[in-house]
Amino acid sequence: MPQDNSPDRFADLIVDDRRDARFKVNRRVFVDDAVLRAERDHIFSKCWLYLGHTSEVPKASSFVARRVGGRPLIFTRDREGTMNALYNTCPHRGAVVCRERSGTRRSFTCGYHAWTFDERGRLMGMPGREALPPEATEDCKLDLVHVERMEEFCGFVFVCFDRHAMPLVDYLAGAAEYLAYVADQGEHGMEVSRGTQDYGIPANWKLLQENSVDGYHGVPTHSTYFDYLRTRDNSTFDGSRARGWVKNLGNGHAVSESIGVIPWGRPYARWVPGWGEEARAEVEEIGRKIMARLGPERGNVVVNGDRNLIVFPNLVVNDIMATTIRTFYPVRPDYMEVTAWSLAPVGESPTSRDRRMRNFVEFLGPAGFATPDDVEMLEMCQRGYANHAAAPWNDISRGMLSNAPVKTDELQMRTFWRRWRQLVSGDPSLELTGP
């Protein structure tokens, strides 16, 4: 009989029938503790995971502490300007040595026995050093442990707990281009705005990854938001012009995007009446500067496009009415913790930043128009999965017969699930491309 986390246990959870154009996901993947154990072993312990943005550690001795893949880490910039990713665990008795979320520190002192470490993780001192043999601190034996891998791309910093993982840029594959589009918005770089959104959802983490690129739910689920835009801006958007496309970007990453058909404003290119006539000149000038700097082809993508990018397994970059970075991690099969940040160009004017933040919180925040709708739908799915024994399958087949899938199709979800199946089954030969 196969063990709980053996590949045989998960072989039948995905049906990918190319001949009859049917793609199904067994609802056990959203409720089974053994599935979550396999995800922790084969996905969160092996894949590149988002740690933070370079702007969060802007100067020497600045740091951020957060959990990544269930593990408490410290993200620091040392006095030489080098970034470090450290396990937030004292080598003495295992207590976390940093209890603050962020700040500037030249040292971290464990509250348990006062062992002290610098921002590179090197042991600086301890009470009663003479009680240990002379060689105890040689060869970094009592330093904080560095995360096995840390790499940066266009300001986005990732870690991987597998020292043998492929380089980050290879892992990102086609997603790298879309992260670069985000970075291109700022002439002098991008920065994470002050403030963080933290909230929980009583649903499986994979549901939020699906939902983040699901164009099919937009109009029916978020009808209140579109009613608000029609009232505020005299928008004529009714969903019939919700055109766009989806792409498989490789390695489980995907994007849902469109150009020129969205109804909301963007503070770096698209003015809407709700912002007032006094905002029009500034917004349009920002767009003209981006076009001049990047050229018409790339500038058009950055200025006039909107995109929801998923980087496998759990990073979402919403580049829509504002630019949002969102991660989420499973606590239980039926509960996840979500963290989100707003990303903005360095040096943008106070009025532009104000428009950006208003756009961000009115749609994407947990008190905004959209996120509560999404959370409710994911909760309803999770409640429905109590019937998985009698009603075992989700159908994700939309667009399998199309050579040009659109935003309301489901290629982007199938892209995620094919990579998920490959990793949890341990079978690298499984096909990642397809309709």
Query: Could you name the CATH architecture of 174-425?
Result: Alpha-Beta Complex (3.90)
pLDDT of residue 270: 87
Residues in CB range of 415: below 8 A, 6 or more apart: 248, 249, 252, 253, 254, 432
Would you give the end-to-end CA distance of the chain in angstroms? 35
> Reduced to 3 states, what is the DSSP secondary structure of residue 324?
strand
In 3-state terms the chain splits into helix, strand, coil percentages (rounded to 5) of 35, 25, 40
How many CA atoms within 13 Å lie on the side-chain side of 334? Answer: 12
- CATH 3.90.380.10 maps onto the chain at 174-425
User: Is residue 117 within 8 Å of residue 124, measured between CB atoms?
Assistant: yes
The pair of structure tokens assigned to 408 is: 């309301």
Residues in CB range of 21: below 8 A, 6 or more apart: 397, 400, 401, 435
Segment 395-408 shows an average pLDDT of: 94
- Predicted TM-score (pTM) of this structure: 0.95
Task: List, in sequence order, every beta strand (DSSP E) within 30-171.
Answer: 49-53, 62-68, 71-77, 83-87, 102-104, 107-109, 116-118, 123-125, 149-153, 156-160
Q: Model confidence over 188-231: pLDDT tens digits? A: 999 999 999 999 999 999 999 999 999 889 888 988 888 888 88
- CATH 2.102.10.10 maps onto the chain at 49-153
Nearest alpha-carbon partner for 301 in 156, 154, 180 = 180
CATH classification for the domain delimited by 49-153, as one of 1.10.10.10, 3.30.470.20, 3.40.50.300, 2.102.10.10? 2.102.10.10
Q: Model confidence over 47-72: pLDDT tens digits? A: 999 999 999 999 999 999 999 999 99
Nearest alpha-carbon partner for 244 in 357, 48, 62, 411 = 411
Among residues of the chain, what percentage have pLDDT more than 90? 78
Residue 366: exposure state from Cβ atoms within 10 A (0-12, 13-18, ≥19): middle
Segment 373-395 shows an average pLDDT of: 97
pLDDT of residue 2: 43
Q: Model confidence over 310-352: pLDDT tens digits? A: 999 999 999 998 999 999 999 999 999 999 999 999 999 999 9
